[in-house]
Structure 1
């Protein structure tokens, strides 16, 4: 159901220095594009009460830009969410972390080593890992064993720095055909196999809704291995209230669980320009409020 414009201002609150959200929802560059560049968008988000920021592309940015962003977040009392530690080659369907070529796994581990320095510059403690693509030539069980092995090695790189990689299951029905990890349950199996605090799951509820649905039972069953969440409604991958997911109920469940981590707003705005930015803020005000009601 689309979010109505009626009552938008009331749902959003004041236009600046608004009350902080109860959970650490994290916008990203582009969420508030009309407000200026990255640093200006961070300042605007802080003024609206957002407590965190997410930037998938941060690892590929120049060092000075990483440092500037970290400084801006620290000045506004905001937490840094995830960045992508190792970006797949989507056009070539690589890497095949469960395949027969050790070179692909070694290249992945090289990316993880570089990500340690990135995380320190960003004051980030978590980073996204995509576990690559399925290799049709290799039995899936063999691929799973190899993915567990390489994730264990990656976890050994992260653990001394108290960093956590969060593996992101992706849907194959709409966005990413052929990827290896497709559900939160599959991520749970790999994370339990790795058995390390440095290797957990990123539960992107947009992807999970498309691939499997049954969101709260999936979260409940796999909760011990979930360290990060992302929101996005389906269909369309826009803000809560534009699709079929009842995000207020998800927020209520997360509060009951005592979740204090970051929730990435990994979606677009359903309306362009400032009207869409206002709608985005209002959508999160609504689920934040309704998620606290008995």
Structure 2
């Protein structure tokens, strides 16, 4: 019923269950599965679930701009590709710098200099070469500075888009996170029009609270209609907490991104027109 491939993060749902059981629970409902730091997981157990993995973290240490940091990032990206092969995971996610368990940058940056931009572009070119050799896609995710990730370089969607465009490789694309973009920049439908040619995945959560669609200010059915009108048929992933239950969150996500449940009035979906839609 949806033109998109829907995925959900096992890092943020079913938190009362062991991680492998979270993966099974999400996959059993017809979603692909996303994971973060693979080094903390039993990879063989994850592979044995039979789940389709959509995305995983593509590095463990390092950054895009410092000599030691770029070497560490490239080394851990190479190792991450080996794990991606075991999980048959097509996309590996990157950030402007390593993040600690609280989501804060390991090496915070107040000002991104022109030299840092040039070094980041060169590092990402080398990352894309690794992806090409392994037939995988690395994605560079935008983050927000105001709430979750202060001090992260290259955090805005405009920044990640500029770096991906400069690299100009099908093996380096954006992971366009609309939750972060709403906090940092807004104007999401216009952003989609600019970024989709360079985007391999879209992640969603509502603002404020980072819970499922329908719990905040973003009208995600309109986003779904815009994506359909723009011809996007790729991955849309729920990277959110569940306001009440994970089952309810996944059902709300599926409904929001099932355009057949909407109206034919452009981007304006009336809530009454979605009642009774199958999920």
Q: TM-score range by the shorter chain?
A: 0.7 to 0.9
Following superposition of structure 1 onto structure 2, how do residues 42-81 of structure 1 map, counting pairs within 5 Å? 42-48=23-29, 50-69=30-49, 72-73=50-51, 79-81=52-54
Count of residues in Structure 1 that have an aligned counterpart in Structure 2: 253
Secondary structure of the residue that 1:208 maps to in structure 2?
A: helix
Report the Cα offset of residue 227 of structure 1.
1.0
The answer to whether the Cα contact below 8 Å between 1:169 and 1:187 also exists between their aligned partners in 2 is yes
- Shift in CA distance, 39/149, structure 1 to aligned 2, threshold 3 Å: same
Select which of 80, 89, 106 maps to 2:71. Answer: 106
Secondary structure of the residue that 2:117 maps to in structure 1?
A: helix
Q: Does 1:293 align with 2:263?
A: yes
Query: What's the TM-score, normalizing by structure 1?
Result: 0.78
Secondary structure of the residue that 2:55 maps to in structure 1?
A: coil
- Shift in CA distance, 281/223, structure 1 to aligned 2, threshold 3 Å: closer
1:57-78 per-residue CA deviation (whole Å, 9 max, x = no partner) reads 3354234234324xx21xxxxx
Q: Does 1:31 align with 2:4?
A: no
Q: Using the alignment, how far apart are the partners of 1:250 and 1:285 within structure 2?
A: 13
The answer to whether the Cα contact below 8 Å between 1:129 and 1:168 also exists between their aligned partners in 2 is yes
Q: Using the alignment, how far apart are the partners of 1:222 and 1:285 within structure 2?
A: 23
Report the Cα offset of residue 149 of structure 1.
0.6
Query: What's the TM-score, normalizing by structure 2?
Result: 0.82
The answer to whether the Cα contact below 8 Å between 1:238 and 1:267 also exists between their aligned partners in 2 is yes
Runs of 4+ in 1 over 6 A off after TM superposition: none
The answer to whether the Cα contact below 8 Å between 1:228 and 1:263 also exists between their aligned partners in 2 is yes
Select which of 221, 240, 250 maps to 1:281. Answer: 250
Q: Using the alignment, how far apart are the partners of 1:113 and 1:33 within structure 2?
A: 30
Secondary structure of the residue that 2:201 maps to in structure 1?
A: strand
Following superposition of structure 1 onto structure 2, how do residues 193-208 of structure 1 map, counting pairs within 5 Å? 193-208=166-181
Q: Which runs of 5+ in 2 are unaligned?
A: 98-106, 265-279
Secondary structure of the residue that 2:216 maps to in structure 1?
A: coil
Q: Which runs of 5+ in 1 are unaligned?
A: 1-19, 74-78, 89-94
- Shift in CA distance, 249/135, structure 1 to aligned 2, threshold 3 Å: same
Q: Using the alignment, how far apart are the partners of 2:258 and 2:70 within structure 1?
A: 45
